[in-house]
Amino acid sequence: MDELREDLLNGRIDVPRVGEVLAVEGRFPPFVVVDAGGVEVAAAVQYLRDLALGDVSPLTCRSYGFDLLRWFRLLWVLGVDWDRATSSEVAVLVGWMRSARNPQRMRRVGLAAAGMVNPRTGKRALVAGYAPRTINHALTVVYRFYEFHAHHCAGPVQNPVPVSREQRAALSHRSPLEQLPAVRRSRLRQRVPEQLPRAMSDRLWEALFAAMGCDRDRALLSMYVSSGARASELLGIGLADVDWGRQLIHVVSKGTRLRQAVPVSPESLRHLALYLAEAGVPGEGEPLWRTRRGEPRQLSYWAMRRTMQRANERLGTDWTLHDLRHTAATRLANDPGMTLTEVRAILRHADINTTGIYTAVRVEDLFDKLQEHYIRPRPSRRLPAGYDPDDVKVVFGG
């Protein structure tokens, strides 16, 4: 058994992909975890039901379900019951995730290799394994899973996932307007590198916009960059959600799931009008963004993602839909006429520190200023007429 743990810890063997997360007909929970025989994993389903009753998004239940499935797959390989797990099994999970290949990172032929930097955008391709944020998210889900069962007097006596008491105390009752305190992360937690926003320069944005082949795609891109709306939020609006007079759109926010107003640019509304003139005004209850081939239907996230991929193939770039939100946030945060609080309201960030990330200055955005700096003549070191160099040397030294 020790040899098996060492092999898993160092990624020499993989965890069998048995079991799955299934959508079910019901709201509590909307997703369940089943084992290799198709039998529901009772402990996981109980926790997911409690999450759903707590009014979280169904997609959150799905995400947590996959993290729990990964955890149970490891326990099944090790032959450990979930209520007998210790921090030793959690360490094996972290080691395996740091060493194994992420099946979601399997790339098609022709795409950039993992870790390579795109010469045009400066973005690094995703690594082949699990990202530090993914590992930390998995630890959070497993920790909360055991906290739930401990509340109901089930599971191990001590939560197997280590926790930093110092960090929990520092973050409790903290105002979102305050700076995050510097505390040590808990054991097994990964260091997450600080990354600059993936914003496009004006030149690259114009090239991407020009690569769009129809008014629908031009309207979508223009609205993404002017509003900062998330990809799924904008794709879910209808014609009734567009306020032409006040230049607003109403989206259902991903976090709060509330219908909120978001400003858009006049240019994006002009492209939207051109798209509606071409495709026709949708009827009541019909989607605003529709497919252009075959029978018109709702434009999905994956279809719009494929539109971006085709543009990337022509331009040699690797932009994503979420990069459009980063571009909008960077433009707003660096506008001298906008305060950070106003930008936070437009982007609907829960924490103003998240908005502050977009105020970072990038070297590529300083190209013109750097060129002026390099060609500016250096100041002359000659002394003004009438001064004796020996006297200046006595007074100032050197």
pLDDT per position as a tens digit, 216-236: 999 999 999 999 999 999 999
pTM, rounded to two decimals: 0.80
CATH of the domain at 225: 1.10.443.10
Regarding whether 209 and 164 lie in a shared domain, the answer is no
Domain boundary residue among 154, 171, 188? 171
Q: Is residue 324 part of a domain?
A: yes
CB-CB contact of 192 with 136 (8 Å):
yes
* Catalytic residue list: 230, 254, 322, 325, 349, 358
Q: Are residues 144 and 262 in the same domain?
A: no
- Whether residue 160 is found in the same domain as residue 244: no
- For residue 273, give its domain range: 202-359
Structure-token pair, residue 372: 């002026």
| Residue whose structure tokens are 């209520």 | 83
Give me the helices (H) in the chain, please: 2-9, 42-53, 58-78, 87-99, 132-151, 165-171, 202-210, 215-227, 231-235, 266-279, 301-315, 321-333, 340-347, 352-356, 367-375, 389-396
Query: Does 25 map to a domain?
Result: yes
Task: Give me the residue label for tokens 């240019």.
Answer: 267
Residue 290 has phi, psi (to 5 degrees) of -125, 155
Question: DSSP string spanning 279-303?
Answer: H----TT--SSB-SSSS--BPPHHH
CA distances from 214 to 66, 220, 235, 296 (A): 38, 10, 16, 15
* 71 inside domain: yes
Query: Do 149 and 234 share a domain, yes or no?
Result: no
The HSE-up count of residue 215 (CA atoms within 13 Å, CB side) is 13
pLDDT tens digit at each of 398 positions of the chain? 688 888 888 888 889 999 999 999 888 999 999 999 999 999 999 999 999 999 888 989 999 999 999 999 999 999 999 999 999 999 999 999 999 888 876 655 455 666 688 888 888 877 778 999 999 999 999 999 999 999 999 999 999 999 877 666 666 666 656 666 667 788 899 998 888 888 998 899 999 999 999 999 999 999 999 999 999 999 999 999 999 999 999 999 987 888 999 999 999 999 999 999 999 999 888 899 999 888 889 999 999 999 999 999 999 999 999 999 999 999 999 898 999 999 999 999 988 888 988 988 777 667 767 788 888 887 766 666 777 777 777 777 76
Residues 343, 179: contact at Cβ < 8 Å?
no
How many domains does the chain fold into?
2
Regarding whether 137 and 241 lie in a shared domain, the answer is no
In a domain, 112, yes or no: yes
Residue 141 sits in the same domain as residue 238: no
Tokens of 123: 């973005």
Q: How far apart are CA 221 and CA 205, in angstroms?
A: 10
Residues 212 and 346 in one domain: yes
